[in-house]
């Protein structure tokens, strides 16, 4: 039996009169990498945020890890809390606490939200900082770090929650070009280690290299989904072909 870490069925979300997600369905297998690509305004970030209820869907059923919610019915705060605890979120703009050190940023969630002992949380945080190459920055503050280093702290912070799936919202879009590689390298390592990842990205070649599944979204729907060799290498929709041609052949 396939172990799905994410299953979404007919997910809908509107902001005012603008329907951003128009009945989206997909699934993510344990230990796999799913990338979501598409033009700006296509709904890809809203879809990712729905998986953590940062944007609570208006309708649809989503299962993340061990928790399933029917968003077409009233949802309790406790159910939302358990749902959000299934995933870790890496934001586009780092979102670190500026007045806390690197180590404090990584341990805050496990200590405050999960009530884990400080010594245990700090020991695990140091292991994660080693994984992302930042052990020597443990006592630094965010303003003392480069953008790439801040994003790697954000990744360690998400992993510290021991999530069933890690969600990345365009993790390199706010970085200077020379810093992109260090963040993508960390994400590649996580993929090799078997973490379940869902990544919104505009890095098409990266998506081609690391993905087990690619979703192409446009105008609130998934137009195309499948392995990268199909969606990126041989897309069937004209809209997908035009998007990829513009990205891969900009001149």
The residues, ordered by sequence, that sit 6+ positions from 49 with a Cβ below 8 Å of its Cβ are: 55, 169
Please give the span between the terminal C-alpha atoms of the chain, in angstroms, as a whole number.
47
Strands 221-226 and 67-70: unpaired
Q: Structural domain boundaries of the chain?
A: 4-248
Cα gap 232→36, rounded to integer Å: 11
Closest listed residue to residue 226, CA positions, set 27, 1, 4 = 27
Domain spanning 4-248: CATH 3.40.50.300: yes
Strands 165-169 and 221-226: unpaired
**Residue that the structure tokens 């280093």 belong to:** 149
**Tens-place pLDDT, residues 73-102:** 999 999 999 999 999 999 988 789 999 999
**Tens-place pLDDT, residues 25-35:** 999 999 999 99
pLDDT band at 134 (very low <50, low <70, confident <90, very high): very high
Cα gap 222→45, rounded to integer Å: 13
């Amino acid at each position: 039996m396939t172990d799905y870490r994410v299953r979404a069925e007919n997910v809908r979300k509107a902001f005012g009169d603008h329907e951003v997600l128009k009945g989206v369905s997909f699934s993510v297998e344990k230990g796999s990498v799913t990338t979501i690509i598409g033009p700006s305004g296509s709904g890809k970030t809203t879809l990712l945020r729905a998986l953590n209820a940062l944007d609570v869907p208006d309708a649809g059923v989503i299962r993340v890890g061990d928790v399933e919610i029917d968003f077409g019915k009233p949802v309790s705060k406790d159910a939302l809390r358990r749902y959000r605890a299934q995933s870790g979120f890496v934001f586009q703009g780092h979102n670190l606490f500026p007045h806390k050190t690197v180590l404090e940023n990584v341990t805050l969630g496990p200590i405050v939200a999960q009530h884990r002992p400080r010594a245990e949380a700090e020991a695990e945080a140091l292991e994660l900082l080693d994984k992302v190459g930042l052990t020597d920055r443990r006592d630094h503050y965010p303003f003392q770090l480069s953008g790439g280093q801040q994003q790697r702290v954000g990744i360690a912070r998400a992993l510290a929650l021991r999530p069933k799936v890690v969600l990345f919202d365009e993790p390199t879009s706010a970085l200077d070009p020379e810093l992109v590689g260090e963040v993508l390298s960390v994400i590649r390592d996580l993929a090799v280690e078997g973490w379940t990842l869902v990544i919104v990205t505009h890095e098409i070649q990266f998506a081609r290299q690391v993905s087990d599944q690619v979703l192409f979204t446009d105008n609130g729907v998934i137009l195309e989904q499948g392995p990268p060799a199909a969606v990126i290498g041989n897309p069937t929709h004209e809209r997908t072909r035009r998007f990829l041609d513009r990205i891969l052949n900009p001149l």
